[in-house]
Structure 1
Amino acid sequence: MNQAPLAFITGASSGIGQALALRYHRAGWRLALVARRGHEIEQWAREQGLDAERVVVFSADVRDTEAITAAGRDCLQRLGVPDAVIANAGISVGVDTADAADLEVIRATYETNNIGLAATFQPFVAPMCQRRSGRLVGIASVAGIRGLPGHGAYCASKAAVISYCESLRGECRPHGVAVVTISPGYIDTPLTRGNRYGMPFLMSADDFADRAFRTVEAGTSYRVIPWQMGVVAKLLRALPNPLFDRLLAGRARKRRRSE
């Protein structure tokens, strides 16, 4: 295994995760790719013609804190301390709090999008701080900037990602480690193709990955991609509640697991 820089990426079996893996591979990085179904990533990497000498696959579910932290420790032992750790794994499902069954959906969302993100970072924080370099990258969402009807679990979880990464940034900065928060807008992935509402400024996963790569390399603390969605989000955040509620009245909601 050569000594090119190393990226540890979760949620690498589809969508944004795969696009990021391809972008980092094109830049000459080594890859530590993590997903629940590791064999699917291995098959995909072969189909894409990725250099087998630069790709190592770890099978782990980020909801299983022991499994994902073990994958991180295994990466440290086998490959060394990554230069970038990208906590990308996430789920997005509509919820209705009036339905008791959706409480489990809320639990799964928080376990994946929040506890899973922290567990992804956990093995690497101390080694990166000791080395005094590295990037910890949290993939949030513009949905974390303001709550959307029927999408409470996802919006709340991504708001928590933004605040958590901000807190972690203050903890790691004195040790030379950057924490980067990226909030995607609407990206064309399997996660968004089932949406029943308009998706302004829809961006391809490859275009997103290219901009995200440059954002991480720059060590930018927070960025919305595409930038136009950042403007939209700020405008929505500035709206008084009555106007915001009127604007979203009747908006189609995210599909629930039972639909």
Structure 2
Amino acid sequence: MDKLVFITGASSGIGQALAWRYHQAGWRLALAARRTGEIENWARAQGLGPDRYAVYAADVADTQSIAAAGQACLARQGVPDAVIANAGISVGVDTAVREDIDVIARTFATNNVGLAATFHPFVEAMVSRGSGALVGIGSVAGIRGLPGHGAYCASKAAVISYCESLRGELRPSGVKVVTICPGYIDTPLTRQNRYSMPFLMQPQDFAERAFRAIEAGASYRVIPWQMGVVAKLLRMLPNPIYDKLLAGRPRKHRQSQQ
């Protein structure tokens, strides 16, 4: 039987681009998102046969919801060969504003707890089989903090550390843990950004490189590689120089500004 990939946040952007790339490679698709109607419309428009995909309604911020979607996938389609925890949110925050504390909580619920809950239903089955890949979508924003973007940067830093921890735990089992850190990708999450986005990529170009990295079993990959170089250089800067460099940089839109 053809390989199976489970992808969250598959209704648009990176998730949808990954779904299409895996379909092109002959994989069966298990697609999870809140907006299931959009996935169905996309699948029909692309001519996907009903035997090639299944759609699961899930909100990754709701642990029971995403865990139930994973269990439904196991029952309906079997154990995936790859699980890609892609769903995430990105909203600017101001710690002095009370409502933004709720935004921070929701960001971590989605980007971190939701990622772990996405993996949870599949770990035991993959370990028993002795193969599979759990893929966490981080971000170069997780490498160094950006003013006004604390929730997203912190959550993506947590994704990187969590996946590294999980990789060590699962190393003896044959299950790979892959961390993919996108730079700037042209998606609904980035189009409202008020700052420059160097090396901006189209989703399909990102999906191609991510697919190859996952297939190669890379433990960690920044896409595009140029953003990885930039991030490492910024990480090396002393704090006073880094702070001065970012002084006056436009901030991410807060929830009330969207």
- SS state of the match for residue 51, structure 2? helix
Report how many aligned residue pairs link the two structures: 257
Indicate the residue corresponding to 1:215 in structure 2.
213
Deviations 1:87-134 (A, max 9, x none): 000000000000011001001100000000000000001110110000
Indicate the residue corresponding to 1:115 in structure 2.
113
- SS state of the match for residue 137, structure 1? strand
- SS state of the match for residue 203, structure 1? coil
Q: Give the Cα separation in 2 of the matches to 1:68 and 1:34.
A: 8
Q: Give the Cα separation in 2 of the matches to 1:59 and 1:78.
A: 14
Indicate the residue corresponding to 1:166 in structure 2.
164
Alpha-carbon shift at residue 52 of structure 1 (Å): 2.2
Q: Give the Cα separation in 1 of the matches to 2:205 and 2:8.
A: 19
Deviations 1:118-168 (A, max 9, x none): 000000011101100000000000000000000000000000000000000
Letter in 2 for 1:186: Y
Q: Give the Cα separation in 2 of the matches to 1:43 and 1:68.
A: 21
1:248 aligned to 2:246? yes
Alpha-carbon shift at residue 250 of structure 1 (Å): 0.3
* Percent of pairs with identical residues: 75
How is 1:1-259 mapped onto 2 (pairs within 5 angstroms)? 3-259=1-257
Letter in 2 for 1:110: F
Deviations 1:202-243 (A, max 9, x none): 010000000000000011000000000000000000000000
- SS state of the match for residue 125, structure 2? helix
Q: Give the Cα separation in 1 of the matches to 2:46 and 2:140.
A: 30
Provide TM-score, normalisation by structure 1: 0.98
Of residues 145-154 and 38-47 in structure 1, the stretch that sits farther from structure 2 once superposed is: 38-47
Q: Give the Cα separation in 1 of the matches to 2:59 and 2:155.
A: 18
Letter in 2 for 1:71: A
Provide TM-score, normalisation by structure 2: 0.99
Q: Give the Cα separation in 2 of the matches to 1:231 and 1:160.
A: 20
Q: Give the Cα separation in 2 of the matches to 1:220 and 1:150.
A: 31
Alpha-carbon shift at residue 177 of structure 1 (Å): 0.4
Q: Give the Cα separation in 2 of the matches to 1:7 and 1:90.
A: 18
Of residues 50-59 and 218-227 in structure 1, the stretch that sits farther from structure 2 once superposed is: 50-59
Q: Give the Cα separation in 2 of the matches to 1:93 and 1:156.
A: 12
Letter in 2 for 1:100: R
Letter in 1 for 2:106: A
- SS state of the match for residue 136, structure 2? strand
- SS state of the match for residue 9, structure 1? strand
Q: Give the Cα separation in 2 of the matches to 1:210 and 1:14.
A: 16
Q: Give the Cα separation in 2 of the matches to 1:214 and 1:52.
A: 26
